[in-house]
Chain A
Amino acid sequence: MGSNFMSELGSQGASSSGKAIVAEHLCKIFEITKGMVRRKKSQVIALKDVSFEVDYGELFGLVGPNGAGKTTTIKILTTMLIPTSGRAAVLGYDSQKDVTRIREKIGIVLGGERGLYTRVSAVDNLRYFADLYGVPRNIQDKRIKELLEFMGLSDKAHSRVETYSKGMKQRLHLARGLINDPEIIFLDEPTVGLDPEIAIETRSMIKGLVEKGKTILLTTHYMFEADVLCKRVAIIRNGDVVALDTPSGLKKYVMETSVVEVEGFGITEKEVARFREMKDIISVSADLGENKQVLKIQTPKGSEIISEVQEVLKDSHIYDIKIKEPTLEDAYLKLVAT
């Protein structure tokens, strides 16, 4: 992006005092009604008790399995949902009372290929959202040009979005999220479904924004992404925050354990299930590919477990066994499993 835009970004946020985001005991229960004649009501608890604070200029991560409550939390903070109980404040504004003020100052990037007007150009998309965010026309032209340059989309600025690759669409999503020069950016799984190369590129753009003083709340499924990017990470499970710390702080949960990584062929769900039943195994994650299967077994026994692993996998071909230091993913698996 052009230097002007980046310097403009850098001047935001840091001067404010207090916390950029405050979530206090957020609870969200959805009422679901089924049937036309005999109406049956049921409840889905999306959030039980979620509390955390995010500092200005911080990149804060929210991780958890599907349905844990990450997106619900983001939607409450971005004023798109009203919590059943609890309080949320963004930039000091109440998420229920000061809806417009919050919306003017935040950017939202929801993951995936949707969320763009595909039959018009990137410029048309950005101009439209610039109008919806009340960006004056004289600023719009400059900002759209700079954002497209920053995102590497200048060459295709006037092409229909439907001709864009997945990565280009994701970059356009990010550009759209920055069109109002927000003080806080909410990124909901920004790298989901992207090629590794494009995901790396997207992560580097996110880092660049933090370096310029933006506050970012990121949700992700990828623990290494949270490890690399986030200053602090909250792990959500079943609508509760089960841990909140720096990535290195979270790894301490599994310091006394190690991870045995097994690569092989012929490993099935049956063997995975056997490992999960074994004593002294904290968690097992399995990537059962067609040509190769990879197991990550977390255990306090370290190398002592290798003979047991070989016994379980006696009918499979083992290519490699490694003992690894625990990662954030291992900490996550332990915290989510317990």
Chain B
Amino acid sequence: MKYERMPNTLRVIYSAFRMAMLYWMADPQWIIPNVIAPFVFTTVALTLFNAYGGSSGPFGLYAVLGGGMMGMWGNTIYSSGFAISFEKWQGTLEEVMAAPSKFIHVIAGRSISNALFGLTNMVAVFIVGIFVFKISLGISDPVLFTISLLLTLFSVSALGLIFASAFVLSRSAQTLTNGLETPLYIISGSMFPIALLPFWSHPFAYILGPTWGIDAIRLTTSQQYASQTFWAGMGTSSALFLDLTVMILITAAYVAIATVLFKMVETRARTMGTLVEA
């Protein structure tokens, strides 16, 4: 779509996305959380998997995709909140919120850029898995793999928006996201199959969009995985379709919740004057 013809909402999201990308490029410290950390994490995980049954087959797949998801996940959850703290540090939060555009669209653009940047560490993780541990990912359908990955990226970004709303009001919101990053990552089954987790955690897993996203991604990479999915017995195509449908519905719910939350916190910030807190 040509920039001139974009609806205003998309233009604001794109503009915020572009500004975030310009900043990422201007500040290469993103290499540490985006490339080095997942690289180390995956190496450790694959070494452990190797020691307990070999890095081939589904274990290797879990480690590689899990490491990649970790990057995307962590980057989005952390950075969506950071996007607002960043505006506060720059002193631009008031200017941005005083503009007629909806603030949620600005943060959505930043959130998507963060998730996309998170993909860079997925690439780093794939390189470790493929070249160092000789894991064959065997992507059976590259198109569906890409679609699943991109939809997961949007789902993670939408979840990031919900967390971001807390940052409009409070400096201590960082504690919330720091504390939730790892539990959410584990519960979503990014690294271990949900079946291995305690039963009580399953409802939490099923309300997380990325749970279905990682399920869909695995289905596009391994035929063997069809028997382990939530939709076992339905066939790979049907399971993939259901995974993506559920994820889209959950993502839409996240966006709706985030929209309501942003409206609430903006009104609260305008009443309490909490925007000025840096």
Interface set of A (CB-CB < 8 Å, partner B): 28, 30-31, 46, 72, 75, 78-82, 100, 103-104, 108, 110, 112, 114-120, 124, 127-129, 131-134, 136-138, 160, 176
Contact = CB atoms under 8 A, between A and B. Distances in A.
B4 A134 contact: no
Contacts of B91: 110, 112, 114-116
Nearest to B274: A30
By DSSP majority rule, is chain A's interface helix, strand, loop, or mixed?
mixed
Q: Which of B23, B27, B273 has most A Cβ within 10 Å?
A: B273
A110 to B, nearest CB: 6
B253 interface: no
Interface of B: 3-4, 8, 11-12, 14-16, 18-19, 22-23, 26-27, 90-92, 94-101, 106, 267, 270-273, 275
A138 B4 CA distance: 8
A120 B98 contact: no
A81 to B, nearest CB: 6
A131 B95 contact: no
B270 A120 contact: no
B132 to A, nearest CB: 35
B90 A129 contact: no
Given A30-B272, A134-B101, A138-B4, A119 B92 contact: no
The 9 closest A-B pairs by CB, nearest first: A114-B91, A131-B15, A132-B99, A103-B100, A119-B26, A115-B91, A132-B101, A104-B100, A82-B270
Given A118-B90, A119-B23, A119-B26, A133 B99 contact: yes
Given A119-B27, A120-B19, A138-B4, A133 B92 contact: no
Contacts of B96: 132
A117 B100 contact: no
B4 A103 contact: no
14 contacts: A80-B270, A103-B99, A108-B98, A110-B91, A115-B91, A115-B95, A116-B91, A117-B92, A120-B23, A128-B19, A131-B14, A137-B4, A138-B4, A160-B26
Contacts of A160: 26
B19 A81 contact: no
A193 to B, nearest CB: 13
A103 B98 contact: yes
Nearest to B86: A117
A166 to B, nearest CB: 14
Contacts of B272: 30-31
Contacts of A80: 94, 97-98, 270, 275
Contacts of A104: 100
A123 B22 CA distance: 12
A117 B94 contact: no
Contact of B270 (A46, A81, A119): A81
Nearest to A115: B91
Given A114-B90, A117-B19, 15 more contacts: A30-B273, A78-B98, A79-B270, A81-B270, A82-B270, A82-B271, A100-B100, A115-B90, A118-B90, A119-B26, A119-B27, A128-B15, A132-B99, A133-B99, A134-B8
Given A30-B272, A82-B271, A132 B4 contact: no
B66 to A, nearest CB: 33
Q: Which of B18, B26, B270, B272 has most A Cβ within 10 Å?
A: B270
Contact of A115 (B18, B23, B92, B275): B92
Contact of B22 (A75, A78, A124): A124
Contacts of B101: 131-134
Q: Which of A75, A104, A117 has most B Cβ within 10 Å?
A: A117
